[in-house]
Amino acid sequence: MERSVDRATSVGGKQISASQKPKRRHRIAASALWEAFRVAFSSLRSNKLRAGLTLIGIIVGVSAVIAVVTIIKGLDQTVASTFSSQGSTVFSVSKRPQIITSREDFLRFNKRKDVTHEDWEAIARLCNLCWRTGLSANVPRETVKHADQKSDEVTIRGATISMFDIDAVNLDAGRFFSDSEYAAGREACVVGTDILENLFGGAPPESVIGQDVRIAGRPFEIVGVAEKKGKIFGFSRDNLIYIPYTAYQKIYGARNSLVVFIQAASAEKITEVEDQVRAIMRNRRGKTFRDEEDGFALETQDVFLNLYGSATSNIYLVTIGVAAISLVVGGIVVMNIMLVSVTERTKEIGIRKAVGARQTDILRQFLIEAVTVTAIGGAIGVVTGFGLAYLISMLMGFPLLMSAGSALLGVGVSSLVGIISGLWPAWRAARLHPIDALRAE
């Protein structure tokens, strides 16, 4: 029977089998790599000023990119949560679309019939797939008073009781107005937190329940205080007052077109509900599916998200591109510094080659040196970028979304910049002839 023989070689008086050779080569490669890192760190420590100047360019570039990406993510979340506060199960029926982009469209939509209280009643009665229906009418700029205090530009929203559920309104104190108050058109209201700040000196929500505010000269009793929603693009979402639609009619009449809100039981059913509501409204307008013009607008909150996305996509690309230019500048700085380093250490390179260093050893050393500098700069830039994004988010009032992905992106991109910008200097160093390098002064 033939036996396999594990051939051995003698290295330094020791027998090394063929199966042990790959392990030894891996150890030698790891040792050489560690030596390259050690030499790179030693060079950086001996040239602190040069290393510091190199770091500045990378830190600025990575900080700019991280700050921009983090701010964009936070802004996207804020916009999405704001315009989707009613959820993916709600849509509206109105005379005009919520977004009109031309004067011609505005004039055309103005010729449509108003959406009326009777339209809402018809939808509520005939739409058996609708989970909730509600009615809303707004006065966007009203002055509200309490004692000698006043608050301007307050939105007065006349609404049915169901609108509190559709709008997902939560209370800090008090209650919503009751069925009997709504039926009687009682002058009761639910106020936003800005009203407390402007009219009651920031008093606790519980303390204002039962007090009056004057709307269009009429006293309305505060029965509830809504939770704070904050600002979006500098505009407060808490400077509003809900009143019963029946009370709204007494003050402002029924001259303006209304907005009907419909909520489906689930997101999966919203298309069916929309189709049913559209059929009901078309029938009331004398329209059929063949008509290009329905005579009303049926929309979800996605219309705002789509507008926001189309308006900001190019802006974001330009902003990130401008920030990325900082990284390019940082890479140029790294390349220049590494070229200076190669020139200064020409004799050292010659000595290393004379004692057996290969081109790959020199190339690896300078590449590792460039990547080490940029990776350190990238890590510092990530921390600085998150700090800058935090300050900006605090000033603008939207949440900060820090992610491990952004941190890895910053360090990874900076390391890539180090490889690209350090490749040419490292190649020049590796190509130096030992004799010419040793002659250098």
The answer to whether 190 and 242 have CB atoms below 8 angstroms apart is yes
Which sign, positive or negative, has the C-alpha torsion 188, 189, 195, 196? positive
Q: What is the mean pLDDT of residues 370-383?
A: 83
Nearest to 139 by CA among 129, 120, 153: 153
Looking at the DSSP bridge assignments, the partners of residue 134 are 261
**Composition of the chain by helix, strand, coil, percent to 5:** 60, 20, 25
pLDDT higher for 204 or 370? 204
Q: DSSP state, 115? A: P
Separation CA 105–CA 102 (nearest Å): 5
For 144, residues 6+ apart whose C-beta sits below 8 A from its C-beta are: 150, 151, 154, 156, 195, 199, 213, 214, 215, 241
For 108, residues 6+ apart whose C-beta sits below 8 A from its C-beta are: none
Please identify which residue in the block is written with the tokens 């000033």.
Answer: 395
Separation CA 432–CA 209 (nearest Å): 84
pLDDT higher for 235 or 218? 218
pLDDT band at 140 (very low <50, low <70, confident <90, very high): confident
For the chain, how big is the Rg over CA atoms in Å?
Answer: 35
pLDDT at 421: 77
pLDDT at 247: 93
pLDDT of 419 strictly over 60: yes
Q: For 105-114, 217-226, 347-356, which range has the lowest pLDDT when averaged over its residues?
A: 347-356
pLDDT at 224: 95
Residue 119 to residues 53, 126, 244, Cα–Cα distance (Å): 70, 10, 18
Structure tokens at 90: 């709600």
pLDDT of 401 strictly over 90: no
Residue 269 to residues 1, 120, 123, 125, 296, Cα–Cα distance (Å): 77, 20, 16, 18, 21
Nearest to 218 by CA among 185, 169, 193: 185
Separation CA 317–CA 302 (nearest Å): 22
The answer to whether 260 and 94 have CB atoms below 8 angstroms apart is yes
pLDDT of 30 strictly over 80: no
The H or E element that residue 128 is part of is: none
Separation CA 190–CA 136 (nearest Å): 14
Burial class (CB in 10 A: 0-12, 13-18, 19+), 43: buried
For 294-340, the pLDDT digits (tens) are 788 888 766 666 666 666 677 677 777 776 777 777 778 778 877 77
pTM: 0.62
pLDDT higher for 355 or 248? 248
pLDDT band at 281 (very low <50, low <70, confident <90, very high): very high
Structure tokens at 236: 């407060």
Separation CA 242–CA 155 (nearest Å): 9
What percent of the chain lies above the pLDDT cut of 70?
A: 81
pLDDT of 79 strictly over 50: yes
pLDDT of 97 strictly over 60: yes
pLDDT at 186: 94
Separation CA 417–CA 71 (nearest Å): 23
pLDDT of 406 strictly over 50: yes
**Long-range contacts from 179-184, C-beta under 8 angstroms, 24+ separation:** 181/223, 181/244, 182/244, 182/245, 182/246, 183/246, 184/246
Between the CA atoms of 298, 303, 307 and 309, what dihedral angle is there, to the nearest 10 degrees? Answer: -160
pLDDT at 11: 45
